[in-house]
Structure 1
Amino acid sequence: MMAIMPSSEAPQPAPTTDAGRAALDAVVADPARALLALDFDGTLAPIVDDPEQAAVHPRAVAALDRIGPCLGKVAVVTGRPVLTALRLGGFDDRPGLSRLSILGQYGAERWDAQTGEADIPPPPAAIAEVESRLPRLLDDLGLGDVALEKKGRAVVLHTRRLADPAEAQRRLAGPVAALARSHGLAAEQGRNVIEVRDPSVDKGRALRDLVAQTGATAVVYAGDDLGDLPAYVALQSMRAAGEVRALLVAVASAEQPALVPRSDLAVDGPEELADWLERLADRLGC
């Protein structure tokens, strides 16, 4: 009978593109000048019905704890409020993540482990105005059971708990987009969610700033949803200009495959990403 190789000893899945392979080689060759940035929901943490019950995969956070001292920078780049990501992620009691940064609300907020301080600007007034109008809109559409998540700088409509989440999201898309536009905001589609937020910030701008601040020459970015597309676009542009080597990792799901054809490497959900991070730690000797 053929022996099954334990996952920790299995070979690390290889990037499928030359650019991705070159970026991974650059990370291993000069980890002090490398940046590892990751989304939160659907990437580090499995998607769950109640956003407050989300938790980072335990093997993923353990792998990051190993990787942190080896790399120039590890960052979480998320649409979550920064303090929510910190609380749900369990990052602040990990000694290996003493230089971690969390960029919350798509980069509008920031928490740094080195100082323990969070920079949280006040939310746009338009968000509160939209929040006040959404209950009536939902009732008019017969979708009063849609859950609203108030994030300060954004409000999220969750359809996951409904009998037909995709149909509910389809019906909401036009009216919510119109309401958002009327207040100078954007309505962004996601995995059984629509998020109304300030369009002046996104993960692409956040990553560009982080690369400039750290001087990183190699970047690994992992994400799973449409909110990660600006990060992909920014890194592809920087890669084409010769500014960085970049490895784009898609954390794939049946709900949202959009990142897969744009990626250098696809993994199957947070579980397989945790596997990949463990093997990266092994390869770095961390």
Structure 2
Amino acid sequence: MDFTSGQGEQRYEAFVRAAASSVVGLDFDGTLSPIVDDPEQAHIHPDARDVLVALAAEVRAVAVITGRPARQALDLGGLEEVGAAVGEAGSELYLFGQYGNERWSSSRRRIVSPRPPKGLATFERELPRLLRTHGAGEAFIEDKGLAVAVHTRRLPDPERSFEALLPALRGLAAAHDLVVEPGRHVVEIRSPGMHKGVAVRTLVEELDAGGFLFAGDDLGDVEAFEALGELAEGGLPTLRVCSASHEESALVPMSDIVVKGPEGVLQLLAQLTSDARDLRS
């Protein structure tokens, strides 16, 4: 792992001291699972289960906070099995799906979800025409129930198509009182008012967290990093971890630690677990 500054190293040490009362929050795609062309094949890293279960014994709770639908993340991550093992370790695994609109926990084991936002159905009916108009008729459209995502990764020029579609999608979304969340060669359209920063603050308040670490990889994680920045100003030990890649670097300037993809994230969490255990003993 690479600390972005001396302050980042100090924040890591402070977080280790506060680990027993802290929450570790993790994005899914690009953080726990590798980025792949087919989002339905983005399975969790094979080492993640053991790392998360060991970590859970040293912290108050572990949370996965993702833009994916909760059910999809549970299945791709095997998180129900992970949650059962985390419970045996005396901790709790939380899942916030669709940026926090859906909730699940290893103790309740039931997904709580609101109704789809108004305007989404009409947006989806108008979307194919917009894509054809911009030469992206073959873009993959992912229906998430509470949101819709447009993926350009499979197109001949993913980056150019993404840049061309983004302003058009913003305009159509605004016409239906929806918001746009850009990511790595994907644009998600959903209801306003909920984002990963809200999920972070919810966990801090509900669990009376004594610290918070969040690891993410792209633009959808910016609000979580911003929330941690504000919480740190209030005295809470926080740690912002960027799972870096060659495709996206927006989080690097905001980070305390930069690691290389999911494998780097898991190595960091294993080191954190070891350091917290040593301090406790």
Instruction: With the length of structure 2 as denominator, give the TM-score of the two structures.
Output: 0.93
Matched, 1:240 2:238: no
Cα offset, 1:258, TM superposition: 0.6
Counterpart position of 1:175: 168
Counterpart AA for 1:198: S
* Counterpart check, 1:218 vs 2:207: no
Match of 1:68 among 52, 56, 59: 56
Could you tell me how far apart the structure 2 residues matched to 1:187 and 1:281 are? Answer: 36
Partner of 1:89: 77
Contact 1:67–1:96 (Cα < 8 Å) also in 2: no
Determine which of 144, 154, 158 is the counterpart of 2:137.
144
Secondary structure of 1:285 counterpart: helix
2:81 alignment partner, SS class:
coil
- Residue number in structure 2 paired with 1:134: 127
Q: Match for residue 198 of structure 2?
A: 205
| Cα displacement (A) at 1:197 | 1.0
Q: Deviation string for 1:71-97 (max 9, x for gaps)?
A: 101000111111111111112113432
Distance 1:210 1:191 in 2: 26
Native 8 Å contact 1:43 1:223 kept in 2:
yes
Structure 1 spans left out of the alignment, 5+ residues: 1-12
Q: Structure 1: how far apart are the matches of 2:166 and 2:216? A: 23
- Contact 2:2–2:259 at 8 Å: present in 1 too? no
Q: Does 1:256 align with 2:248?
A: yes
**8 Å contact 1:157–1:193 — kept in the other structure?**
yes
- For residue 281 of structure 1, the aligned residue among 270, 273, 276 is 273
Q: CA deviation at 1:210?
A: 0.7
Q: Do the aligned partners of residues 283 and 109 (structure 1) sit closer, same or farther apart at CA in structure 2, a change above 3 Å counting?
A: same
Give me the whole-angstrom Cα distance separating, in 2, the residues matched to 1:42 and 1:131. Answer: 26
In the other structure, the counterpart of 1:108 is 101
* AA of the residue aligned to 1:97: V
Alignment RMSD: 1.5
Partner Cα distance (1:279, 1:53) in 2: 28
CA contact (8 A) 1:68 1:96 kept: no
Bigger shift: residues 177-186 or 21-30: 21-30
Q: Which stretches of structure 1, 4 residues or more, deviate above 6 A after TM superposition?
A: none
What is the aligned-residue identity percentage? Answer: 42
User: Which SS does the other structure have where 1:196 is aligned?
Assistant: strand
- For residue 180 of structure 1, what is the amino acid of its counterpart? A
* Residue aligned with 1:92, SS: helix
Q: Which amino acid aligns with 1:128?
A: A
